[in-house]
Amino acid sequence: MKTFLIALGVAAATSWTAFAAEPGKLVDTKMGKVMATDTGMTLYTFDKDTKGKSNCDADCLKKWPAFHAAANAKADGEWSLVKDTAGKQMWAYDGKPLYTYAEDTKAGDVKGDGVNGVWHRAK
């Protein structure tokens, strides 16, 4: 019985670690639920990207920083890794590269939604 409980505890801890490693989360904003970074900064998609490829160039990345992934990050489920135009790994959800917006200054801001008709909050 003791061995079973230890095994159950290890399985639960492993499951929690996998869950905790998810790069984004849903948060409530004035525009409803949106996908955000672990610090609550809204994530956006860019209509000019193609599935699995970022088309946000160096100037674009200044205003729309890529949601970069850690060097040891692993794709999981709907979360995948793509390269930004500078060659750094960034997160994508359902193949869509994700970005933050430089003018969002606090968690829950959604100032980037609808900019130039091509930027949209990820949801």
What's residue 21's pLDDT? Answer: 59
What's residue 18's pLDDT? Answer: 40
40: left (phi over 0), alpha (psi -120 to 50) or beta: left
Mean pLDDT of 35-54: 96
Model confidence, pTM: 0.81
**Main-chain phi, psi angles of 45, to 5 degrees:** -115, 160
- The fraction of the chain above a pLDDT of 70, given in percent, is 83
What's the mean per-residue pLDDT of the chain?
86
Residue spans per domain, the chain: 23-121
Most confidently modeled range among 1-5, 12-16, 49-53, 62-66: 62-66
Q: What is the pLDDT of residues 68-118, one digit of tens each?
A: 999 999 999 999 999 999 999 999 999 999 999 999 999 999 999 999 999
